[in-house]
Chains A and B, each alone.
Chain A
């Protein structure tokens, strides 16, 4: 079956009616499971009068109230550390991961079991196989392997496919570039920004990556993989095809992937997820081709059921027929187009201005602050915080060091610069404060602009 274009040939080519019938069947089982085992979901389902046997078609899904990130955060605060969402004893989990929270130092924490991790890898297999990665490939992961879930599932997916996996954690960029060449890696997995960073490092070392062994890059963690200018630049510098994927810690894995036909978007793994696209201000679905908010229901992760989770991601769904690969899974054209809220992604890490503010405000010596996002050396996203310290007796150096560490600790180790500025220099706000200035370039583009 290695000649198959598809990881799961039958499910990836089901008729629309069959996909929806499968989704309804799985939804019924998920709802029944959550009703019996997940305290938080059970109350909401019962309040809405929803049981598995009352769900007859996909439009019935809308009877279930949506879950938000704030719900998740609040649940964790009220019932630490995981909230009232777990369906099984913590002792059954084999892994702990986190993603940045919205309210300060508290991250969203997730647990998964043996079966869940097999499923997490399985979803990545759809993507890797769909982009043409096969057992004979050698796959290099330029990834830090921490509690940020990132490419963990991708690593296991490649082992499952039978690839030779090179785990490139805890290495300098120079070491990674050299090891990619030394191992003859044919595939590299990283964020779009880091793909460009490695290309720059290779140039500095006098290495022409386009003449090297890499034929594919699998990108994730940032929107750049679906921004045509950025993708084109990456493909030119590496002499390889770049395939985008997108996932989220709340799901543990990817829910969309770009196939080898590169249709300008990513297929939704519809036999394992229901992806609704709703009006960001309401609960009404938007039709194909219109911008709306992703709302996801996952059938795989049972430890932490995800039912109608409002992601705040903006997407445009188009029919599967827009791609000629033969899959019947619909497509998010142009990938993740942006955010409904004020979340930003910096080198794969989510940051929320309100979470940064919560940390900054723990330092009472700071009067005003501003978050500054910029592009360093033409390719790398950076975040720094400008602060005003009115009291000249304060040890500014120590304070800046402590704040930088606290911000990093609250954001999966992301590096934060902290700079003291002259008192009164930063803008003051009477109404809604806008303390985030995003001056990042669209990498590969022609001008300044926000990448999302």
Chain B
């Protein structure tokens, strides 16, 4: 992913998004309902940040969001 932004706060946000997406992609079946559904809500919100950082994030339907 090309973030084109070097500020630490934004890098951390992008990292949060990537980590959350990875959790949902690789470990969704292991999550309790409250974990899974809140993670989906959160990744949908974090997608907006990545989308707003001059990058073109992939869609999230395959992870359920």
The chain B residue with its CB closest to the CB of A7 is B52
Give the chain A neighbours of B47 by CB distance below 8 A: 115, 118-119
Is the pair B56, A25 in contact by a Cβ cutoff of 8 Å?
Answer: yes
Contact A302 B44 (CB under 8 A): no
| CA distance in complex: A449, B6 (Å) | 55
Picked from A89, A119, A302, A303, the residue with its CB within 8 Å of the CB of B48 is A119
B43 and chain A: residue at smallest CB distance: A115
A33 touches B40 (CB 8 A): no
Report the minimal beta-carbon distance from A254 to chain B, rounded to whole angstroms.
15
By the criterion of a CB under 8 Å from any partner CB, how many residues of chain B are at the interface? 20
Q: Are B41 and A114 in contact (CB under 8 A)?
A: yes
Contacts A115-B44, A115-B65, A118-B47 hold; do A271 and B59 have CB atoms under 8 A apart?
A: no
B61 and A118: CB pair below 8 A? no
Which residues of chain A come closer than 8 Å to B62, judged between CB atoms? Answer: 88
Quick check: is A394 within 8 A (CB to CB) of the other chain? no
The answer to whether B56 and A299 have CB atoms under 8 Å apart is yes
Assess whether B44 is in contact with A114, with CB atoms less than 8 Å apart: yes
Q: Does B19 contact A (CB under 8 A)?
A: no
Q: Is the CB of B51 within 8 A of A33?
A: no
Whether A11 contacts B65 by the Cβ 8 Å rule is no
Q: In this assembly, does A22 line the interface, its C-beta being within 8 Å of a C-beta of chain B?
A: yes
Are A117 and B52 interface neighbours, CB within 8 A? Answer: no
Residues of A within 8 A of B65 (CB): 113-115
* Binary B-proximity of A317-347 (CB < 8 A = 1, otherwise 0): 0000000000000000000000000000000
Contacts of B55 in A (CB 8 A): 25
Cα A26 to Cα B52 in complex, Å, equals: 12
Interface residues of B in 10-41 (CB under 8 A from A): 40-41
Tell me whether A303 and B44 are in contact (CB under 8 A): no
Contact (Cβ within 8 A) A92 B64: yes
The reply to whether A8 and B44 contact each other, CB–CB distance below 8 Å, is no
The CA of A117 and the CA of B48, in the complex, are separated in Å by 10
Task: Assess whether A114 is in contact with B40, with CB atoms less than 8 Å apart.
Answer: yes
A11 touches B54 (CB 8 A): yes
Closest-by-CB residue of B relative to A88 is B61
Known: A87-B59, A113-B61, A114-B65. A8 touches B52 (CB 8 A): yes
State the B residues within 8 Å of A (CB): 40-41, 43-45, 47-48, 51-56, 58-62, 64-65
- Of the A-B pairs whose beta carbons lie under 8 Å apart in the complex, a sample of 6, sorted by A's number, is A18-B54, A115-B61, A117-B44, A118-B45, A119-B48, A272-B51
